[in-house]
Amino acid sequence: MSTVDAVEFWDDVHAARPAATDPRPNVRLTGTVADLPPGDVLDLGCGAGGDALWLARRGWRVTAVDVSSVAVGRLTALAVSHGLDDRITARRHDLRESFPDGSFDLVCAHYLQTPLDLDRAAVLRRAAHALRPGGRLLVVDHGSTAPWSWNQDPGVRYPAPREVAADIALDPVTWTVERADSPRRIATGPDGRTAEVTDHVLIVRRAA
């Protein structure tokens, strides 16, 4: 799928889904970030916007980016309708070509996995460099194929969190891996089915 235009692909994906009025946040975000003091956060691949809304409600100043203008437009409208437009800035970025300016206390990348060409390690490395001292990079990836996943290829491989950390290749003097594990959970798909899935969770912290 390397020749497919990423903007067109993801615009079609989001346009095919009904616009959510109050999208849910990712459970790995809520379980990891709930006790952190709010600051500035970058949400890479914001999608429907559940994470951005959840963070903003807890006092975070959110910069949310996505390659899809449909996703960005919907999140902008949601921020206004929920009275959070003073805390959420949504922007379209093709991370192959551009990256948001600024420095952050937290960068989140939830399921930033794509069938299209993307140098993910380079994106995550840049995200780590955008952290302020003491800031954290939270990367949550699929670790298994759910029954409702778009890709049902039995040969698909999901790199483990330590492999992702190795690919990012950060200087251990400056960045420390705080967490790298593969917890399981019961998830509910868009059609209401439930199944056990595995998440790959990586947290990297920049030295204070």
Interval 170-205: pLDDT, tens: 999 999 999 999 999 999 887 889 999 999 999 999
Identify which of 123, 116, 96 has the alpha carbon closest to the alpha carbon of residue 3.
116
- Beta pairing partners, 198: 184
- Cβ atoms of 117 and 96 within 8 Å: the answer is yes
Decide if pLDDT at 39 tops 60: yes
Residues 61 and 132 in one domain: no
Identify which of 139, 118, 117, 115 has the alpha carbon closest to the alpha carbon of residue 127.
139
Q: pLDDT at position 2, please?
A: 47
Residues 86 and 176 in one domain: no
Q: pLDDT at position 70, please?
A: 95
Interval 111-156: pLDDT, tens: 998 777 789 999 999 999 999 999 999 999 999 988 888 777 878 8
Query: d(Cα 182, Cα 200) in Å, to the nearest integer?
Result: 5
| 5 occurs within a structural domain | yes
Domain ranges, residue 136: 119-208
Q: How far is CA 51 from the centre of its chain?
A: 8
Residues 140 and 80 in one domain: no
| 11 occurs within a structural domain | yes
| pTM for this model (two decimals) | 0.93
Number of alpha carbons in the 13 Å side-chain half-sphere of residue 101? 0
What is the domain-level CATH number for residue 126? 3.40.50.150
| 104 occurs within a structural domain | no
- Cβ atoms of 200 and 143 within 8 Å: the answer is yes
Residues 1 and 91 in one domain: yes
Query: Considering the chain, what is the average pLDDT of its residues?
Result: 93
Query: Based on the structure, what is the number of domains in the chain?
Result: 2
What integer is the mean pLDDT of 28-44? 96
